[in-house]
Structure 1
Amino acid sequence: MNLTLRQLRSFIALAETGSFVRAAEIVHVSQPALSQQIKEMEAQTGLRLVERQPRRAVLTPAGHELQAHARAVLAEMDALEQAARWREGLGGRLALGVIPTVAPYLLPVALPLIRSRNLTLELRIRESQTETVLDGLEAGRLDAAVVALPTGRAGLVEVPLFEDRFLLAGNAATLAGQGAAIRPDALDPDRLLLLEEGHCLADQALEVCALRRADTRVDLGASSLATLAGLVAEGFGFTFLPELAAASELAAAPRLALHRFADPQPARRLGLLRRRTATDDGWFTTLAEILREAGEARLARLPV
Structure 2
Amino acid sequence: MSIDSDITVRKLEIFIAFMARGNLARTAAALGISSVSVHRALHSLEESLRCPLFIHQGRNLVPMPAAHTLWEYSQEALDLLSRGVEEARKTAGMSQGNLRLGTLYSLTLETIPQLIMGMKLRRPDLELELTMGSNKMLLNRLEEGSLDAVLIATSCEQINHAHLETLPLFEDDIFLAAPAASGLDVSKEADLRDFRTEKFVSLDEGFATWQGFREAFAIAGYEPEIVTRVNDIFSMLSLVQAGVGFTLLPGRMKRVYENSVQLLRLAQPYQMQQNIAIVFERSREHDPNLLALVAEGRMYSRQRGAKS
Task: Give me the TM-score of the superposition, normalised by structure 1.
Answer: 0.61
Amino acid corresponding to residue 280 of structure 1 in structure 2: H
CA shift in 2, pair 1:279/1:237, >3 Å: closer
Alignment match, 1:291: 297
Q: Gaps (5+ residues) in structure 1?
A: 3-39, 41-73
**Correspondent of 1:235 among 243, 253, 271:** 243
Q: Give the ranges of 4+ consecutive aligned residues of structure 1 lying more than 3 Å apart after TM superposition.
A: 74-80, 183-187, 262-265, 281-286, 291-302
Tell whether 2:202 aligns with 1:194. Answer: yes
CA shift in 2, pair 1:185/1:261, >3 Å: same
CA shift in 2, pair 1:274/1:267, >3 Å: same
Alignment match, 1:163: 171
- Bigger radius of gyration, 1 or 2? 2
Distance between the aligned counterparts of 1:164 and 1:76, measured in 2?
Answer: 41
Alignment match, 2:76: none
| Deviation readout 1:86-107 (Å, 9 max, x if unpaired) | 6xxxx83211111233234422
Distance between the aligned counterparts of 2:168 and 2:120, measured in 1?
Answer: 22
Are the counterparts in 1 of residues 90 and 287 from structure 2 also a CA contact under 8 Å? Answer: no
Are the counterparts in 1 of residues 92 and 286 from structure 2 also a CA contact under 8 Å? Answer: yes
Distance between the aligned counterparts of 2:97 and 2:242, measured in 1?
Answer: 46
**Correspondent of 2:211 among 184, 203, 209:** 203
How many residue pairs get aligned? The number is 226
Alignment match, 2:275: 269
CA shift, 1:223, in A, is 1.8
SS of aligned partner of 1:120: coil
CA shift, 1:173, in A, is 4.2
Alignment match, 1:92: 97
Alignment match, 1:259: 264
Alignment match, 1:132: 137
Distance between the aligned counterparts of 2:266 and 2:168, measured in 1?
Answer: 23
CA shift, 1:282, in A, is 6.4
Tell whether 2:128 aligns with 1:123. Answer: yes
CA shift in 2, pair 1:300/1:228, >3 Å: farther
Are the counterparts in 1 of residues 137 and 206 from structure 2 also a CA contact under 8 Å? Answer: no
1:68-87 paired onto structure 2 within 5 Å? 78=87, 80-85=89-94
Distance between the aligned counterparts of 2:190 and 2:183, measured in 1?
Answer: 10
RMSD (CA atoms): 3.8
Amino acid corresponding to residue 136 of structure 1 in structure 2: R
CA shift in 2, pair 1:78/1:187, >3 Å: farther
Alignment match, 2:232: 224
CA shift, 1:79, in A, is 5.8
CA shift, 1:299, in A, is 9.4
CA shift in 2, pair 1:143/1:286, >3 Å: same
SS of aligned partner of 2:168: strand
**Correspondent of 1:176 among 149, 170, 184:** 184
Distance between the aligned counterparts of 1:285 and 1:177, measured in 2?
Answer: 46
Distance between the aligned counterparts of 2:143 and 2:84, measured in 1?
Answer: 8
Amino acid corresponding to residue 220 of structure 1 in structure 2: T
| Deviation readout 1:5-56 (Å, 9 max, x if unpaired) | xxxxxxxxxxxxxxxxxxxxxxxxxxxxxxxxxxx9xxxxxxxxxxxxxxxx
Distance between the aligned counterparts of 1:144 and 1:84, measured in 2?
Answer: 14
Distance between the aligned counterparts of 2:190 and 2:257, measured in 1?
Answer: 21
1:42-57 paired onto structure 2 within 5 Å? none
CA shift, 1:122, in A, is 1.6
Distance between the aligned counterparts of 1:140 and 1:199, measured in 2?
Answer: 20
CA shift in 2, pair 1:179/1:121, >3 Å: closer
CA shift in 2, pair 1:113/1:186, >3 Å: farther
CA shift, 1:146, in A, is 0.8
Task: Give me the TM-score of the superposition, normalised by structure 2.
Answer: 0.60
| Deviation readout 1:164-220 (Å, 9 max, x if unpaired) | 1112211344251687122456542742321122322112221123279x9232241
CA shift, 1:157, in A, is 1.6
Range 282-291 or range 271-280, more displaced: 282-291
CA shift in 2, pair 1:192/1:147, >3 Å: same
CA shift in 2, pair 1:128/1:237, >3 Å: closer
SS of aligned partner of 1:209: helix
SS of aligned partner of 1:137: helix
Are the counterparts in 2 of residues 100 and 128 from structure 1 also a CA contact under 8 Å? Answer: yes
